[in-house]
Protein backbone atom coordinates (compact mmCIF):
# COMPACT_ATOMS: atom_id res chain seq x y z
CA UNK A 1 0.00 0.00 0.00
CA UNK A 2 2.73 2.43 0.95
CA UNK A 3 4.77 1.77 -2.22
CA UNK A 4 1.72 2.38 -4.42
CA UNK A 5 0.83 5.55 -2.53
CA UNK A 6 4.36 6.92 -2.74
CA UNK A 7 4.49 6.17 -6.45
CA UNK A 8 1.18 7.97 -6.95
CA UNK A 9 2.46 10.99 -5.04
CA UNK A 10 5.64 11.05 -7.10
CA UNK A 11 3.64 11.01 -10.34
CA UNK A 12 1.31 13.74 -9.13
CA UNK A 13 3.98 16.16 -8.04
CA UNK A 14 6.31 15.22 -10.88
CA UNK A 15 3.67 16.10 -13.42
CA UNK A 16 3.34 19.60 -11.99
CA UNK A 17 6.88 20.27 -10.82
CA UNK A 18 9.13 20.02 -13.85
CA UNK A 19 11.03 23.15 -12.81
CA UNK A 20 12.20 21.58 -9.54
CA UNK A 21 15.71 20.19 -9.87
CA UNK A 22 17.10 17.24 -7.95
CA UNK A 23 20.05 18.33 -5.85
CA UNK A 24 21.51 14.87 -5.36
CA UNK A 25 23.34 13.98 -2.18
CA UNK A 26 24.97 17.14 -0.82
CA UNK A 27 24.78 16.53 2.91
CA UNK A 28 27.19 18.53 5.04
CA UNK A 29 28.30 16.80 8.24
CA UNK A 30 28.10 19.15 11.25
CA UNK A 31 30.90 17.73 13.33
CA UNK A 32 32.01 20.66 15.49
CA UNK A 33 30.37 23.37 17.56
CA UNK A 34 30.94 26.04 14.97
CA UNK A 35 29.26 23.96 12.27
CA UNK A 36 26.20 23.22 14.43
CA UNK A 37 25.69 26.86 15.43
CA UNK A 38 22.05 27.76 14.86
CA UNK A 39 20.97 24.11 14.56
CA UNK A 40 21.49 23.05 18.18
CA UNK A 41 17.77 22.45 18.83
CA UNK A 42 17.89 19.47 16.46
CA UNK A 43 19.05 16.30 18.18
CA UNK A 44 19.12 12.54 18.14
CA UNK A 45 16.24 10.77 19.85
CA UNK A 46 17.67 7.52 21.18
CA UNK A 47 15.12 4.75 21.53
CA UNK A 48 15.55 1.59 23.60
CA UNK A 49 18.84 -0.19 24.13
CA UNK A 50 19.59 -1.55 20.65
CA UNK A 51 20.89 1.53 18.89
CA UNK A 52 17.57 2.63 17.44
CA UNK A 53 17.07 6.34 16.91
CA UNK A 54 15.14 9.03 15.09
CA UNK A 55 15.67 12.78 14.76
CA UNK A 56 13.73 15.26 16.92
CA UNK A 57 13.57 19.03 17.33
CA UNK A 58 12.92 21.33 20.25
CA UNK A 59 9.85 23.51 19.57
CA UNK A 60 9.45 24.77 23.14
CA UNK A 61 11.94 24.64 25.97
CA UNK A 62 10.39 21.40 27.25
CA UNK A 63 8.76 19.99 24.13
CA UNK A 64 10.09 18.00 21.18
CA UNK A 65 8.57 17.33 17.77
CA UNK A 66 9.28 14.08 15.92
CA UNK A 67 7.53 11.46 13.77
CA UNK A 68 4.74 9.44 15.40
CA UNK A 69 5.99 6.14 13.99
CA UNK A 70 9.23 6.61 15.94
CA UNK A 71 7.39 6.23 19.25
CA UNK A 72 5.79 2.88 18.46
CA UNK A 73 7.49 -0.50 18.54
CA UNK A 74 7.29 -3.14 15.83
CA UNK A 75 4.18 -4.61 17.46
CA UNK A 76 2.36 -1.29 17.18
CA UNK A 77 2.51 -0.51 20.90
CA UNK A 78 3.39 2.94 22.18
CA UNK A 79 6.89 2.93 23.64
CA UNK A 80 7.37 3.84 27.29
CA UNK A 81 8.72 7.35 27.72
CA UNK A 82 11.56 6.10 29.93
CA UNK A 83 13.03 4.18 26.98
CA UNK A 84 13.86 7.43 25.14
CA UNK A 85 16.55 10.07 25.52
CA UNK A 86 17.03 13.32 23.61
CA UNK A 87 20.57 14.51 22.86
CA UNK A 88 20.53 18.04 21.47
CA UNK A 89 23.13 18.68 18.75
CA UNK A 90 24.86 15.37 19.47
CA UNK A 91 28.18 15.20 17.67
CA UNK A 92 30.91 12.64 18.22
CA UNK A 93 29.67 11.63 21.66
CA UNK A 94 29.02 15.13 23.01
CA UNK A 95 25.67 16.91 23.21
CA UNK A 96 24.67 20.46 24.05
CA UNK A 97 22.07 19.01 26.40
CA UNK A 98 20.79 15.53 27.27
CA UNK A 99 17.28 15.01 28.63
CA UNK A 100 15.08 12.06 29.54
CA UNK A 101 11.53 11.91 28.19
CA UNK A 102 8.60 11.87 30.63
CA UNK A 103 5.61 11.96 28.28
CA UNK A 104 4.92 10.83 24.72
CA UNK A 105 1.82 11.96 22.81
CA UNK A 106 1.36 10.91 19.17
CA UNK A 107 -1.22 12.53 16.90
CA UNK A 108 -4.60 11.06 17.91
CA UNK A 109 -5.41 10.07 14.31
CA UNK A 110 -2.15 8.23 13.67
CA UNK A 111 -2.55 4.45 13.59
CA UNK A 112 0.61 2.31 13.54
CA UNK A 113 0.57 -0.39 10.91
CA UNK A 114 2.65 -3.51 10.37
CA UNK A 115 3.75 -2.56 6.88
CA UNK A 116 4.39 1.04 5.93
CA UNK A 117 1.87 3.78 6.55
CA UNK A 118 -1.29 4.87 4.82
CA UNK A 119 -1.90 8.17 3.10
CA UNK A 120 -3.81 9.39 6.15
CA UNK A 121 -1.01 8.35 8.46
CA UNK A 122 1.66 10.25 6.55
CA UNK A 123 -0.45 13.37 7.08
CA UNK A 124 -0.62 12.70 10.85
CA UNK A 125 2.82 11.18 11.42
CA UNK A 126 3.89 13.54 14.22
CA UNK A 127 4.32 13.24 17.97
CA UNK A 128 5.33 15.56 20.79
CA UNK A 129 7.56 14.47 23.65
CA UNK A 130 7.86 16.23 26.99
CA UNK A 131 11.32 16.53 28.47
CA UNK A 132 11.96 15.74 32.13
CA UNK A 133 13.67 19.10 32.42
CA UNK A 134 13.43 22.16 30.18
CA UNK A 135 16.40 23.14 28.06
CA UNK A 136 17.07 26.80 28.72
CA UNK A 137 20.43 27.46 27.11
CA UNK A 138 21.30 30.43 24.96
CA UNK A 139 22.91 28.01 22.51
CA UNK A 140 19.79 25.83 22.13
CA UNK A 141 16.88 27.88 20.83
CA UNK A 142 13.56 26.18 20.00
CA UNK A 143 12.35 26.60 16.43
CA UNK A 144 9.02 28.19 15.49
CA UNK A 145 6.50 26.58 13.15
CA UNK A 146 5.89 28.18 9.77
CA UNK A 147 2.87 28.44 7.53
CA UNK A 148 2.39 25.79 4.85
CA UNK A 149 5.15 25.80 2.23
CA UNK A 150 4.48 26.35 -1.45
CA UNK A 151 5.62 24.29 -4.41
CA UNK A 152 9.08 25.39 -5.48
CA UNK A 153 10.06 26.79 -2.08
CA UNK A 154 13.68 26.21 -1.15
CA UNK A 155 14.03 24.29 2.12
CA UNK A 156 16.71 22.59 4.20
CA UNK A 157 16.87 19.50 6.42
CA UNK A 158 19.01 18.73 9.45
CA UNK A 159 19.03 15.03 10.28
CA UNK A 160 20.81 12.04 11.73
CA UNK A 161 20.96 8.87 9.64
CA UNK A 162 21.70 5.16 9.81
CA UNK A 163 25.04 5.71 8.09
CA UNK A 164 25.87 8.94 9.97
CA UNK A 165 24.58 8.51 13.53
CA UNK A 166 27.31 10.39 15.40
CA UNK A 167 26.72 13.89 14.03
CA UNK A 168 23.87 15.76 12.35
CA UNK A 169 23.99 16.46 8.63
CA UNK A 170 22.64 19.52 6.85
CA UNK A 171 21.21 19.59 3.36
CA UNK A 172 21.21 23.32 2.71
CA UNK A 173 19.14 23.42 -0.43
CA UNK A 174 16.34 21.20 -1.68
CA UNK A 175 12.83 22.01 -2.84
CA UNK A 176 9.16 21.50 -2.14
CA UNK A 177 7.76 19.52 -5.07
CA UNK A 178 4.17 19.82 -3.95
CA UNK A 179 1.53 19.15 -1.31
CA UNK A 180 -0.87 16.24 -1.69
CA UNK A 181 -3.67 15.60 0.81
CA UNK A 182 -1.84 16.92 3.85
CA UNK A 183 1.53 15.57 2.75
CA UNK A 184 4.53 17.70 1.81
CA UNK A 185 6.73 16.19 -0.91
CA UNK A 186 10.37 17.27 -1.32
CA UNK A 187 13.45 16.23 -3.26
CA UNK A 188 15.54 16.27 -0.09
CA UNK A 189 17.99 13.43 0.51
CA UNK A 190 17.39 11.39 3.67
CA UNK A 191 17.82 7.82 4.95
CA UNK A 192 16.70 5.58 7.85
CA UNK A 193 17.16 7.46 11.11
CA UNK A 194 16.05 10.69 9.45
CA UNK A 195 12.44 10.04 10.43
CA UNK A 196 11.24 12.98 12.52
CA UNK A 197 13.75 15.38 10.98
CA UNK A 198 12.64 19.00 10.62
CA UNK A 199 12.22 20.54 7.18
CA UNK A 200 13.21 24.20 7.44
CA UNK A 201 12.36 27.30 5.46
CA UNK A 202 13.82 30.78 5.97
CA UNK A 203 11.11 33.45 6.23
CA UNK A 204 11.94 37.11 6.76
CA UNK A 205 15.40 36.14 7.90
CA UNK A 206 14.14 33.59 10.42
CA UNK A 207 14.37 29.81 10.18
CA UNK A 208 11.14 27.92 10.88
CA UNK A 209 9.88 24.33 10.57
CA UNK A 210 7.48 23.65 7.70
CA UNK A 211 7.31 19.84 7.83
CA UNK A 212 8.56 16.72 9.62
CA UNK A 213 10.05 13.83 7.66
CA UNK A 214 7.80 10.78 7.66
CA UNK A 215 8.79 8.57 4.73
CA UNK A 216 11.21 8.28 1.87
CA UNK A 217 11.36 6.52 -1.47
CA UNK A 218 14.94 5.22 -1.65
CA UNK A 219 14.30 3.21 -4.84
CA UNK A 220 13.56 6.32 -6.88
CA UNK A 221 16.39 7.54 -9.14
CA UNK A 222 16.10 10.99 -7.53
CA UNK A 223 15.64 11.67 -3.80
CA UNK A 224 12.03 11.91 -2.66
CA UNK A 225 10.93 12.56 0.92
CA UNK A 226 7.43 12.82 2.34
CA UNK A 227 6.44 14.75 5.44
CA UNK A 228 3.48 16.11 7.33
CA UNK A 229 1.95 19.47 6.44
CA UNK A 230 2.24 20.75 9.96
CA UNK A 231 0.00 23.55 11.03
CA UNK A 232 -3.45 21.98 11.43
CA UNK A 233 -2.15 18.51 12.45
CA UNK A 234 0.15 20.12 15.00
CA UNK A 235 -2.68 22.22 16.43
CA UNK A 236 -4.73 19.04 16.89
CA UNK A 237 -1.76 17.26 18.43
CA UNK A 238 -0.99 20.06 20.89
CA UNK A 239 -4.66 20.23 21.86
CA UNK A 240 -4.48 16.51 22.63
CA UNK A 241 -1.30 17.09 24.62
CA UNK A 242 -2.88 19.92 26.62
CA UNK A 243 -6.03 17.86 27.27
CA UNK A 244 -3.92 15.27 29.08
CA UNK A 245 -2.80 17.82 31.64
CA UNK A 246 -0.37 20.70 31.93
CA UNK A 247 2.89 20.24 30.09
CA UNK A 248 4.74 21.91 32.96
CA UNK A 249 3.76 23.59 36.21
CA UNK A 250 1.67 26.67 35.67
CA UNK A 251 0.56 26.21 32.08
CA UNK A 252 0.41 24.28 28.84
CA UNK A 253 2.54 24.27 25.75
CA UNK A 254 1.27 26.15 22.72
CA UNK A 255 2.23 26.29 19.07
CA UNK A 256 4.64 29.14 18.33
CA UNK A 257 4.19 30.51 14.84
CA UNK A 258 6.89 32.08 12.73
CA UNK A 259 7.17 35.76 13.61
CA UNK A 260 6.21 35.34 17.25
CA UNK A 261 8.81 36.05 19.90
CA UNK A 262 10.51 33.02 21.39
CA UNK A 263 10.46 33.63 25.14
CA UNK A 264 13.32 31.18 25.69
CA UNK A 265 15.54 33.27 23.56
CA UNK A 266 11.24 8.81 7.47
CA UNK A 267 9.79 6.44 7.33
CA UNK A 268 12.29 4.21 5.52
CA UNK A 269 12.31 1.17 7.76
CA UNK A 270 10.19 0.52 10.79
CA UNK A 271 11.77 1.59 14.06
CA UNK A 272 13.33 -1.52 15.53
CA UNK A 273 14.54 -3.03 12.27
pLDDT higher for 54 or 118?
A: 54
What's the number of CA atoms in the CB half-sphere (13 Å) around residue 256?
23
In percent, the amount of the chain with pLDDT more than 90 equals 55
Contact 77, 110 (CB under 8 A): no
116: left (phi over 0), alpha (psi -120 to 50) or beta: left
Do strands 206-216 and 84-88 pair parallel, antiparallel, or not at all (unpaired)?
unpaired
Residue 15 confidence (pLDDT): 34
Is the pLDDT score of 213 beyond 60? yes
> Pick from 12, 256, 264, 67: which is nearest to 147 by CA?
256
CA-to-CA distance for 143 and 206, rounded, in angstroms?
9
Please give the distance of CA 159 from its chain centroid, rounded to a whole number.
Answer: 8
> Pick from 108, 39, 104, 115: which is nearest to 74 by CA?
115
Average pLDDT over the chain reads: 81
> Which one-letter DSSP state was computed for residue 83?
G
Contact 63, 253 (CB under 8 A): yes
CA-to-CA distance for 140 and 33, rounded, in angstroms?
12
pLDDT higher for 6 or 187?
A: 187
Confidence category of residue 182, pLDDT binned at 50, 70, 90: confident
Torsion angle defined by CA atoms of residues 234, 239, 48 and 100, in that order, rounded to the nearest 10 degrees: 110
What's the number of CA atoms in the CB half-sphere (13 Å) around residue 16?
14
Residue 3 confidence (pLDDT): 40
> Pick from 153, 142, 131, 133: which is nearest to 255 by CA?
142
pLDDT higher for 27 or 131?
A: 131
pLDDT higher for 259 or 26?
A: 26
For the stretch 215-254, pLDDT in tens is 887 667 788 899 998 988 999 999 999 998 754 443 344 4
pTM of the entire predicted model: 0.82
For the stretch 247-272, pLDDT in tens is 444 334 444 444 443 332 244 433 33
CA angle 35, 22, 89 (to 5 degrees): 20
CA-to-CA distance for 158 and 29, rounded, in angstroms?
10
Residue 218 confidence (pLDDT): 62
Residue 130 confidence (pLDDT): 97
Contact 176, 224 (CB under 8 A): no
Highest mean pLDDT among 86-100, 176-190, 258-272: 86-100
Residue 234 confidence (pLDDT): 93
Q: If you write DSSP's letter for every residue of 10-35 in order, what string do you get?
A: HHHHHHT-TT-----S--EE--SHHH
Task: Kindly list the distances between the CA atom of residue 47 and the CA atoms of 55, 69, 192, in Å, as whole numbers in the listed order.
Answer: 11, 12, 14
For the stretch 105-153, pLDDT in tens is 999 999 887 555 677 889 999 999 999 999 999 999 999 998 778 999 9
Q: Would you call 179 helix, strand, or coil by DSSP?
A: strand
pLDDT higher for 116 or 99?
A: 99
Residue 135 confidence (pLDDT): 97
> Which one-letter DSSP state was computed for residue 237?
H
Contact 200, 38 (CB under 8 A): no
Residue 214 confidence (pLDDT): 93
Residue 115 confidence (pLDDT): 53
Amino acid sequence: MLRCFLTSLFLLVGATSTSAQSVGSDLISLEDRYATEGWEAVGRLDIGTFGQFCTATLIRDQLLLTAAHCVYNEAGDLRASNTMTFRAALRNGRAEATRDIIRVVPHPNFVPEDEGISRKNIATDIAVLELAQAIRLSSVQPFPISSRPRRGDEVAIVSYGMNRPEAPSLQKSCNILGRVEGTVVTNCDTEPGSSGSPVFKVENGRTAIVSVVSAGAPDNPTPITYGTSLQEPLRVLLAEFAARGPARPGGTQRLMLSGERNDTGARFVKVGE
